[in-house]
Structure 1
């Protein structure tokens, strides 16, 4: 029986099923998908029942270059007038999964499950696609029909006992899809469109009246280039800006639907990409935006430049900033497109550091704090003394949540969790040493602030040693990061403010309901500043002075000798760490201090 002479062809409405990504296959002819297709009635005759699985986005094992979530790989960082940019070229384009969940970028600092399963992007409602039925050898075009995702499901009448080659084509939009004819199965694809293609063979059972499920998983035909601008590293949403992209010399191509072969056109085109081309990756946040381009060409693109200027953001603290206001931020990329592949050009815009004259360590401009929710690890917008009621910047040693003690198993570096992960870290004891006059036991240093015989001023430190609120260190003569037009004077100086520290760590000083340490600074606030390093060990000051496990920190304060001479002092401090039981939990006892991050 021929397809064109089927009797009693009856098109019945059914519901389109979006299957999960775990049911994907790149060749539907070999697919053994057993997805149930919801039907509203019985189908008369023999039919193909179509369902859309989504778009194959590869696996979580995609190749990534230039960015690491572990910090073990050197990040590609370039400095500009008022900001730094961490770039990467990888295959991790974010997408909305067929299950309806947005899949975040892998390798951009966000936690992600590690597996190599295929991932399916949802095909949005309203997108058009066309199904072509060909003879099994692909030489004869039998029929085609256009459908819409999210509308009524379709059944396509076929002949029992026959084998068909089927082809599905979409432009991932609402455009009409052309027909083809026998002997002319090639179509010139439109420029800069996300052409989607799927094909396979299906054999219809010889028993009349059988329905055959045909789940369709599309693949990208062209190379998909995604340019991502990300402002999570400057801790606020992007409100406006000027963007241009050069160096995108692209081609469309002719697609042979019977074979799936793509032939690039000889002529090229350059798409216009500007600020309005970018959309939010997550509709709820404006700190990650993306724009797309598509090419059938496979020649290297060796001079792509994304130029950003007058980028206006609002820091999570409510402070407005503009980057690239003096000179544009010109971000360069190189890549070689591969047909069917995703290529992400990621530009992470991050705060630039300060470099002191004391050493080459690159310091964050302000202290780290944590606020639960989106992008929780941030630097304060302004470097200033924090309010006495603000506990979001006081961490126990090894804790990544402020005002909470760490357990031995949760000991981490909170700076490594600042986006993008691995760019920042906590300082080492060695990083702090050029800013101090020596080391001592914390308890001894706290007890000797007002009982010194000889002044021991911190190297190069300045500040009011009577009523001042900070200790400041000089910046390097060149490339120090000072004078940045996006920041105020306090954030353009390497200042450590006298926020104090919490040393009374006992059951009485913890809130039994929240499990958080009370903000009891004693007499330290307004007089002392203290910062953790990432270093712990045994016998830090010798087996007699500090036996057992201890941790290094930095301590600075306004000090005074017995004769009344005032000065600013700074020392490395060692303090013991002990495992204790607190509120039913086994935790590591330590004081609570601020954290100032440095660059890896």
Structure 2
């Protein structure tokens, strides 16, 4: 019995020893990763001060002469790109601030000017952005792997008198930040098309609080596509998809990314990656323009020069929402930036596209597809109507214009309201010779059924070689019969039908920009009548008309044959 008892006691002692050893070793291992707090009260108080942006300011001009300025880089001259589907005014801002200089407070304490440009430091980061900080002790053991959030930075327990190496990185997003693998690498799959930020340093601690301020630097070049659909009188829908490419590829050869070594800040295994940005992920450029102007950000390691007329901005598709809440979809669009681009790490390169609804080409003239209207509640008050068609009593003071008037109901003057459509100067009113050059219409038709409120009009077919696009309601020049607004404010000669449309009559009234005399202008007029479903259509004539009467206006492009 004594022998058995002695063996039992021996086993108990061994078990207690092994248990104590296990807890001791696991506790030490845990402290190497993110573990037990040193008990002397020494801490790191971490704070993200912002992003150190190196800004090279270049005003792009025809001579490409560098300029230094405290303002955002000026856009290069816009180039009109036309396709018969959606036209665009395309320009480029080269090497502008990664944030935009309008948001950077320049002072002698945080800037210095050199012959190369202006250096602005500590651009603030948005709140609640996630970042990861790695702390290595003086024996190169990883002792902390923490996720921090700007605005509520972590408090990290450390030992006094130790020298620590620290590394921090972020993708500048609030949703999260990727982790390192067993080799201290961040996989490129989690960094593709991300704004990669990085910082590193050492700190020797003293007893109590130690302040660790992090200033990130950008590790990628930012190519930005600023998409503006104000000229389409619409907003950008979430289903829009934007990508970048070059003239010699079908994909995204301009976009590259690699694995990030968290301890060196270098990338390895760099390859071409595919990246597209959905409308739902695009950023609203400013609150004034809202969803009519949104930004797609692309981040790349590629710093190779991109030749002139090589960079392309692609839409697959472009989806926009019109004033009447309908969606218009353009399945495949591509626009070329005329300038050469040399991406630079930490800089932003902005390709700006002001998209414009394409006209329809008829007999050498580029006509707007719908009538000019005015809506005082909109940012762009001068607009093209969402659909072809006539005018009703509810919209008579938006659709009918006094002759060359500032607004539909303002006194007749010498103002070309078409020229006020966004972008200003793109459109103009047609004069009398332009209208007369059209000769008589190719056809006339009744639309929208045989009931009261049916729409009547005539049309000219587009030039045969000009593109057809099913996104638009009509690929012809359709001119509706809407009557006109009298000097007393009523509507006259608006088509009306009775007996299920068996009887109907109405007139078409449009203005030219040609004045006859002080009280009369040259107008465009035609008439129609219908008895027992038999139509009588009048010819298009150009009579004089009272300038104080309201008529429809159809615009044409200010530059005939607008080609890139």
TM-score (norm 1): 0.55
Tell me whether 1:76 sits opposite 2:80 in the alignment.
Answer: yes
Structure 1 residue 293: Cα displacement: 3.2
- Is the CA contact 1:530–1:553 (under 8 Å) kept in the aligned structure 2? no
Match of 2:73 in 1: 63
Note the C-alpha offset of 1:132.
Answer: 8.2
Counterpart selection for 1:497 from 480, 504, 510: 480
> Relative to structure 1, is the Cα distance of residues 50 and 499 closer, same or farther in structure 2, using a 3 angstrom cutoff?
same
Q: Can you list the C-alpha shifts for 1:256-297, whole angstroms capped at 9, x where unaligned?
A: 999x9x8775x6422223475862424997666654432222
Cα–Cα, structure 1 residues 528 and 494, in superposed 2: closer, same or farther, change >3 Å? same
CA distance, structure 2, for counterparts of residue 553 and residue 157 of structure 1: 83
SS at match of 2:82: strand
| 1:352 is aligned to 2:377 | no
* 1:380 and 2:385 correspond: yes
Give the structure 2 partner of residue 425 of structure 1: 427
- CA root-mean-square deviation: 5.9
Task: Please report how far the alpha carbon of residue 241 of structure 1 lies from its aligned counterpart in structure 2 after TM superposition.
Answer: 6.3
2:345 & 2:98 partners in 1: Cα distance? 18
Kindly report which structure 2 residues correspond to 1:405-554, keeping only aligned pairs within 5 A, or say none: 413=417, 415-418=419-422, 421-422=423-424, 424-427=426-429, 429=431, 432-436=432-436, 459-461=439-441, 472=458, 474-475=460-461, 477-480=463-466, 483-488=468-473, 491-502=474-485, 504=487, 519-522=489-492, 526-531=506-511, 533=513, 546=518
TM-superposed deviation, 1:224: 1.4
Counterparts of 2:374 and 2:349, CA distance in 1: 33
Equivalent position SS for 1:316: coil
Q: What's 2:540 paired with?
A: 568
The alignment partner of 2:299 has SS state of strand
1:132-185 CA distance string (max 9 Å, x none): 899xxxxx99999855225634678999xxxx9998643324225779xxxxxx
Is the 1:53–1:120 Cα contact (8 Å) retained in structure 2?
yes
Aligned-partner Cα distance in 2 for 1:405–1:199: 68
Q: CA deviation at 1:594?
A: 3.4
Cα-to-partner distance string for 1:384-429 (whole Å, 9 max, x where unaligned): 1122221333445676655456999xx78465443xx247322254
Residues 248, 304 of structure 1: 8 Å contact kept? no
- Alpha-carbon distance between aligned partners in 1 of 2:404 and 2:135, rounded to the nearest angstrom: 61
Within 5 Å, give how 1:281-320 maps onto structure 2: 281-282=283-284, 291-302=296-307, 303-305=310-312, 307-309=314-316, 313-320=320-327
1:180-219 paired onto structure 2 within 5 Å: 190=188, 191-192=191-192, 193-197=194-198, 218-219=216-217
The unaligned stretches of length 5 or more in structure 2 are 1-37, 58-69, 104-118, 246-250, 448-453, 496-505, 529-536, 559-564
Kindly indicate whether residue 333 of structure 2 is the aligned counterpart of residue 329 of structure 1: yes
SS of the aligned residue for 1:389 comes to helix
Question: Could you list the per-position Cα deviations for residues 4-60 of structure 1 after superposition, in whole angstroms to 9, with x for gaps in the alignment?
Answer: xx997565xxxxxxxxxxxxxxxxxxxxxxxxxxxxxxxxxxx87735457869798
Aligned twin of 2:534 = none
Q: CA separation in 2, counterparts of 1:362 and 1:556?
A: 18
Corresponding residue for residue 274 of structure 2: 272
Deviation at 1:299, TM superposition (A): 0.5
1:60-90 CA-partner distances (Å, limit 9, x unpaired): 8333546xxxxxx55331305x443444443
Query: CA–CA distance in 1 between the matches of 2:382 and 2:98?
Result: 22
Structure 1 position 355, deviation (Å): 1.8
Structure with the higher fraction of residues in helix conformation: 2
Q: Which runs of 5+ in 1 are unaligned?
A: 1-5, 12-46, 67-72, 100-115, 135-139, 180-185, 438-457, 510-518, 576-589
Could you say which residue in structure 2 is the equivalent of 1:364? Answer: 368
Change in CA separation of 1:150 and 1:417 when aligned onto 2, cut-off 3 Å: farther
Tell me if structure 2 keeps the 8 A contact 1:271–1:293: no
1:465 touches 1:559 (CA, 8 Å); kept in 2?
A: no
Question: Which position in structure 2 is the counterpart of 1:594?
Answer: 552
Q: Partners in 1 of 2:319 and 2:382 — Cα distance?
A: 21
Give the aligned partner of residue 238 of structure 1.
237
The 1:276/1:247 distance shift into structure 2, 3 A limit, reads: closer
For 1:168-183, what aligned pairs fall within 5 Å after superposition? 169-173=169-173, 174-175=176-177
> CA deviation digits over 1:560-585, x for unaligned, max 9?
9xxxx96421257795xxxxxxxxxx
Query: C-alpha separation between the residues in 1 aligned to 2:142 and 2:471?
Result: 64
CA contact (8 A) 1:54 1:98 kept: no
Instruction: Report the counterpart of residue 525 of structure 2 in structure 1.
Output: 557
The DSSP-based 3-state class of the residue aligned with 1:79 is coil
Distance (whole Å) between structure 1 residues aligned to residue 215 and residue 419 of structure 2: 41
In 1, Cα distance between equivalents of 2:405 and 2:218: 44
Deviations 1:305-361 (CA, angstroms, capped at 9, x unpaired): 55545655553324444433xxx434445632121112234555542211221xx33
Higher gyration radius (CA): 2
Change (3 A) 1:152 1:473: closer
Q: CA deviation at 1:555?
A: 1.2
8 Å CA contact 2:301, 2:345 repeated in 1: yes
- The structural deviation recorded for 1:366 is 0.2
Matching residue of 1:341: 347
Describe the shift of the 1:253–1:290 C-alpha distance in structure 2 as closer, same or farther (beyond 3 A).
Answer: same
* Equivalences for residues 155-170 of structure 1 within 5 A: 169-170=169-170
Q: CA deviation at 1:363?
A: 1.3
Q: Matches of 2:424 and 2:120 in 1, distance apart?
A: 26
The change in CA–CA distance for 1:97 and 1:332 in structure 2 (over 3 A counts) is closer
| Cα distance per residue 1:435-458 (max 9 Å; x no partner) | 249xxxxxxxxxxxxxxxxxxxx8
